[in-house]
Amino acid sequence: MRYFVLCCALLTAFTANAQSIEFGVHGNILNFSIPEEISSIAGVPPATTETLALQEVFGVGYGGGLHFNFKLGILRLRLAGDYNMISPDNAKFQTYLAQYVGTSASAFRVEGGKITIYGGEVNLKITILPIPVFQPYIAGGIGWSHVKAEETKVTYNNVPLTPIKLIDEQNVMTLNAGVGADFVLGPLSLYAEVRVTGFFLDPTTATYLPVGTFGVTF
C-alpha cells in the first residue's frame, strides 16, 4: 500500500508542475522466463528424476498499450497500461516432454498454454543527453500486473493427459529498469526502449524481458 501511496503522491506532484502532458501508443515484443518446473505429468512415468525448467519452451510474445507523459524539463513521469500475450512454442514443448519421458517428440501433441499479462506501471524517465532530435534516456519504476495462463492440453500417443497449468492466476507487483531513446520530430516523437521487468510471482520470481518497445508520443 505504501508503494501505491508514494506513486500517487509522485504523480500528483508531477501533474501539478508539469510543463506539458503527452499522450501516445506503443507496441511490445517480449520474452517471458517462467520459473515453474514440471516434476510430474499425470499418467506418464518419467525417464528422469530431475525437474525441467519451463523457460525453454516459450517463444516470442507480443503486446502493446497506451501511455501518458508528464513532462518537467529533462524528467518525465510516464504512466502506462499494457496488454501482452505469449504462447509456448509447441515444437519445443514436445521436445521438452519427450526428454522428461524418454521418448520421441512425435509421441506428443501440445495445445494451449497461452499466458496473458495486463496491468500498469509508473516510470520515471531521465533524459541523459537533451539535444535536438535524438535524446537517449534511462527509465525505471514500479507497477502492477495480472498474470493468467490457459491450461496446456497434452496428448501422448493419441491419449489425452491431465491438462497442465503452467502458472496460477495472480496479481503481482513489478519493478522495471531500462534504456531508450526519443526521436523528436516536431510535434511528435518516436521512441525505442529495452527494459527488464521483475515479476514477483508466487512462489518464485520470473523475469519478463521486452526485446523491444516501440512507441509514438504526441
Give pLDDT tens digits for 54-70. 777 888 899 999 999 99
- 3-state percent breakdown (helix, strand, coil) of the chain, nearest 5: 15, 60, 25
Q: d(Cα 113, Cα 153) in Å, to the nearest integer? A: 8
* pLDDT value at 32 more than 90: no
Task: Determine how β-strand 108-112 pairs with β-strand 75-86.
Answer: unpaired
Question: Tell me, what amino acid is at 97?
Answer: L
Q: Which range has highest mean pLDDT (43-52, 88-97, 135-144)?
A: 135-144
Please say whether the beta carbons of 158 and 140 come within 8 A.
Answer: no
Q: What is the 3-state secondary structure (H, E, C) of 8-21?
A: HHHHHHHHHHCCEE
What is the per-residue DSSP string for 151-218?
Answer: EEEEEETTEEPPPEE-S--EEEEEEEEEEEEEEEETTEEEEEEEEEEEE--SSS-EEEEEEEEEEEE-
Q: Is 42 helix (H, G, I), strand (E, B) or coil?
A: coil
Q: Is the pTM of this model over 0.85?
A: no
Please say whether the beta carbons of 67 and 26 come within 8 A.
Answer: yes
Q: What is the DSSP letter of 66?
A: E
Cell 507487483 locates to 173
Digit-coded pLDDT (tens) for 194-207: 999 998 887 777 78
Q: Is 89 helix (H, G, I), strand (E, B) or coil?
A: coil
Q: d(Cα 60, Cα 86) in Å, to the nearest integer? A: 7
**Grid coordinates belonging to 187:** 510535434
- All domains in the chain, ordered by first residue: 2-207 (2.40.160.20)
Q: Report the percentage of the chain scoring pLDDT > 90.
A: 49
Digit-coded pLDDT (tens) for 131-181: 899 999 999 999 999 999 999 898 998 999 888 887 889 999 999 999 999
Taking CA 78 as the corner, what is the angle to CA 74 and CA 82, rounded to the nearest 5 degrees?
150
pLDDT range class, residue 33, cuts 50, 70, 90: confident
